[in-house]
Amino acid sequence: MISYPIVANPSFSGLIGVSQADITPPAGIYAKNWGAATHETAEGVHKPLFLTCITFRSIGMDQPLVLIGADLGWWKSADDEQFLRNGILAETGLPAEHLMFCLSHTHAGPSLFREDAAKPGGHLIEPYLIEIRDKSVSAIRRAMAAETMATLTWNYGKCSLAVNRDLPEQGKERLLVAMNPGQPADDTLLVGRITSLNNTVIATIVNYACHPTTLAWENKLISPDYIGAMREMVETATGAPTLFLQGASGELSPKEQYVGDTAIADRYGRQLGHAVLTTLEDMLPAATGLSFQGAVESGAPLGIWTQTPLVPPQTIAYALTEIPFILKDMPSLAEIEAEWAACTDAVTRERLWRKRGIRKTVGDGRTSAMPLWTWRLGDSLLIGQPNEAYSDFQQQLRAQFKGKAVAVINIANGYAGYLPPENMYTRDTYAVWQTPFEAASLELLIEKTIETAQRILGE
């Protein structure tokens, strides 16, 4: 006789706390994120920027795991990221492995680079980082004070917002950073719903891979890009905060990018928002599965599946691993600075300024240790790392850990560069010449992540 297993969403049950803070920067802050931009300061705000904090703790666990999602772009220097994160760790007493501070990667946010201080509006950057640090500490404390027994339930969905953005340029060998309609794109969406014991939704987690590059050099407004309209839609429907996690989006973006029209970003946000709400509607109630009850004879032989109470797993495990990436042959920091000082072209100077920040981050050695955060929450894995991995990263992890919910996060706790697949290194493309890492770094990351995840899963 066939015995069918209970069908259920991956889940976790434990003490969970949620809080949210507005982190919209002050007017006039330096916000030149594009080499093609002619303006240097933000002239207004399209939608506010938010920081959302969720804490996870099992019964008897002293300190929680803290997940923070912030509507910010990327780090141009390890010094600034450490200034923020180490300040949070010092104030809260959290171990480094307990905190993931994840950036949404909006390209319409303020500069986070304190070395931009001499530029117009640059004097506001360091006070803004201090404000984010203080609001993060407050958000962690408020989330811990609000923690309650709750269930995190995950479900996979689909969203066609993201497209492949490695486009062969006609008549040339290089790839443009633009929609390539001839290549498929990973459309996977992962949504987490957190509900209290009385089935009230207290937070939603959205993990999706798509560059927030809708708004570019023509835009002069601070904006979370498409994430803002998505959040508004989901929070209106659920009545609870939404935390966005940028997935492995190295080669993924919206179809239409580099515009100044905020209505396009809002349309993309609603597109993702509808997909999130559809995925939420497809979820079973918390702590519930479907069990097969047998056959009923009618006009056809009918099989009956009914909802059955379940006890979600309460297991928490975590690891912080360092992976030594081999660096490409690159000019030294001193050489880059000399080239930047002698350069008069605005676009080239911007590229050199970013290259300088990368070299400072990875050091002048032959290798650079990149951190990897691996968390287990019941039936789910949260994988955070600081670089811009291509979607191969998340696709291979999800194939390896079928039956688990696998949230993959780019630009968590730092930033250095892209991680394209090894076979891309023969191409003339931005991701390859931008990255400081040698070919096969992505494949090494995948290998080490699988090893670490298997260890904390006990496999």
Domain-located, residue 46: yes
CB 49 within 8 A of CB 22: yes
Domain-located, residue 450: no
The pTM is what? Answer: 0.96
> What sign does the CA torsion over 130, 131, 134, 136 have?
negative
pLDDT of residue 15: 98
pLDDT of residue 353: 78
Domain-located, residue 433: no
What is the C-alpha separation between 390 and 61, in angstroms, rounded?
35
Count: domains in the chain: 1
Domain-located, residue 332: no
Domain-located, residue 273: yes
pLDDT of residue 356: 84
pLDDT by 10-residue block (mean), the chain, 459 residues: 88 98 96 92 97 97 97 95 98 98 98 95 98 98 98 98 97 96 97 97 98 97 98 98 98 97 98 98 97 95 96 97 94 87 86 82 89 98 98 98 97 97 96 95 98 95
Domain-located, residue 411: no
Helix axes 262-281, 226-238, angle to 10 degrees: 40
Helix axes 392-400, 441-457, angle to 10 degrees: 30
Domain-located, residue 162: yes
pLDDT of residue 1: 53
Residue 248, domain extent: 9-286
Phi, psi of 181, rounded to the nearest 5 degrees: -65, -10
CA gyration radius for the chain? Answer: 22
CA distances to 66, 85, 410, 452 from 373, in Å: 12, 14, 11, 9
- Alpha-carbon dihedral angle through residues 50, 248, 130, 56, given to the nearest 10 degrees: 70
Q: Which residues pair with 189 in a beta bridge?
A: 157, 208
Domain-located, residue 126: yes
CB 48 within 8 A of CB 123: no
